[in-house]
Amino acid sequence: MFKKAVFFLLTLILAFDIAPLCAAELVQSTEHTTVSIVSNGRDTILARFDMQPDWHTYWRNPGEVGFPTVVKSDNANVYIENQSIPKVHTIFEEMKEYLYENTAYFQLRSNNIQDAKITFDFVECNDICQPKSLTFDLSLLQSADIAEWLQIKERADATFPLKIQIDGETDGNSLRLDGMPADNLQFIPAERGVITGESVDITSQNGSAQIKWQNEPNRRLKQALILTPSEAYMADIDYTESGLQLLYIVLLAFIGGIILNAMPCVFPILSLKIFSLINQKRKRRQPLLNAFYYTLGVLLSFLLLTTILLILKNSGESVGWGFQLQSPWFVGIMAFIFYILFAFMVEWLHFPSFAGDFMHKAANLGEFSTGFFAVLIASPCTGPFMGAAVGYAFMHGSYELYAVFTALALGYALPYALIELYPHALSKIMPKPGLWMRRVKIVLSVPILLTAVWLSAVLTEQIMPDTNDEKSAYALDWQPYDAETIAELNEQGKNIFIDFTADWCLTCKFNEKILINTSRFKNFVQKNNVHLFMADMTDYNEEYNNALNMYGRDGIPLYIYYKNGSYEILPLFFSISDLKD
């Protein structure tokens, strides 16, 4: 009887002791993992993962196998600010994985702790791996008192790496860690797939560690975990940019802008430009102003789209260059405008007299609108040199972004602006005004009509349910893009071809006609057992946009070819020889 009374009393005391903790903690479990979260009531959440013996989950970079532990929310901006130091595990004597055993902490930041719902996605692994997902309603979570929070925070901080910031050399992909010996030092990228294979080389120079590596194309290492025998550091890498490198990228963008005028998606716009030159003699009286206003229209249109794109990206949206054609509203408006232009060019419609007088008095407005309008259709196109420059811009900050797209805009405007500046050179090769101008106008209206029909077809694809089998696109076995399947096939050393395309991308359709939808390509695919994947970006798809960014690009078309366990970005107009060893 005495023992029962003592047990009851101890149980009652324990219950009162842990009651405040339970009120300030939410707990959920899977078969092998228990997750508990606690909050300071303002903007920080601590999540503790407790794994059963012999079970593990993964760090943000799981290594060559595994899946990172991630957090997401539909109604709040939440992200992992810090997480415990992982254990480095080597399998098959060469493959590394970075994982958590027993206990791991995650420190989260959120702008809506009171009402948010957050979800943890992770895998728990032993001999097998099981994907798991746990959702917590933070409105049920009471904030911990100060003493309790500090105690829990202290335990979590003891497992976190120290945060440091170091300078990296952009050209050499290297770091120097002053006062940190190279012996037993481990350098682990914080993101999978950024560093090429086993390219990390750690040497000692005057008692300091010198680390060199090779990045994947158009990717840059931003954070790395540095493990020493005594301490662990999470290093934010602040690259030292070379002014010459930015100048080189800007030059590439300028050349890419010039070449963009020759891309298939710009052909309809060229007809508008040519007609505007041959139809009005007034241009010869104001060549400098005409060139200036056309260039201004191009520049402002580019910068407006860039600003919108930058705002969307900073707000968490995954979008790329040419994103506006993923909107049915935009496509529909553009189709309507092209139908109206066609009707005016074939003289089915006429400007009212007051409109003609206004256009005559505001001649420069026509030049400005021509330049501004030309960019809206040309923006989804990607030409030679342009892809690398755009990829560089989106890997850097807003300063580089505006520098690259300003150069791109000036290059795009240059050819037509030169014609505006020297109209007499055009006059020497053109006959005198006459009936031929009416006939040319009819000929030039054809690309306008074709563009309107094309935009209508794109709009139909966007708003109507797809009843066609995607695999029948080119009479080949195309599969929708799937990152996990591609990764598995790549680990097996299979050949993989990925086509990032869209119905609104005329360059994509041009390449499909002359490169992809050919017997040579089909024979190569069948002979070499190439697995085909298509990322159709006609409509907005966050997964496809993220994949595009992963390859360092923000515009299409993009062609990726995997062979022998690695990939390469193919030229814009690739050939079968580019696919062969």
Give me the residue spans of the domains in the chain: 24-157, 162-240, 243-463, 470-579
SS3 241: coil
In this predicted structure, the answer to whether residue 159 has a pLDDT above a threshold of 90 is yes
The whole-number pLDDT of residue 474 equals: 46
Which residue would you say has higher pLDDT here, 502 or 72?
Answer: 72
Residue 536 burial by CB count (10 A; 0-12/13-18/19+): exposed, middle or buried?
A: buried
Res. 276: pLDDT tops 90: no
The 3-class SS string of 449-488 reads HHHHHHHHHHHHHHHCCCCCCHHHCCCCCEEECCHHHHHH
- Token pair of 65 as six digits: 């196998």
Task: Give the residue, 467 or 547, on which the prediction is more confident.
Answer: 547
How many Å apart are CA 278 and CA 291, to the nearest integer?
15
Q: Compute the distance between CA of residue 148 and CA of residue 24 in angstroms, rounded to an integer.
A: 9
- What pLDDT sits at residue 425? 65
CB under 8 Å to 231, separation ≥6 — which residues?
A: 162
Tens of pLDDT, residues 90-137: 876 677 889 999 999 999 988 878 778 899 999 888 877 788 899 999
pLDDT at residue 378 tops 70? no
Identify which has the larger pLDDT, 68 or 309: 68
Pairing verdict, β 44-51 and 103-110: antiparallel
At 2, the pLDDT band (50, 70, 90 cuts) reads: very low
Q: What would the pLDDT profile of 313-351 be if each residue is shown by its tens digit?
A: 666 555 566 666 667 877 788 788 778 878 877 778 765
CATH architecture of 162-240: Sandwich (2.60)
Pick the closest to residue 411 from 303, 250, 253, 257 (CA basis).
Answer: 257
- Classify strands 496-501 and 558-563 as parallel, antiparallel or unpaired: antiparallel
Q: Which CATH class is domain 24-157?
A: mainly beta
For domain 470-579, say whether CATH 3.40.30.10 is its number. yes
Interval 186-207 mean pLDDT: 81
- Arithmetic mean of pLDDT, 522-531: 91
Q: Evaluate whether 24-157 and 162-240 have a shared fold.
A: yes
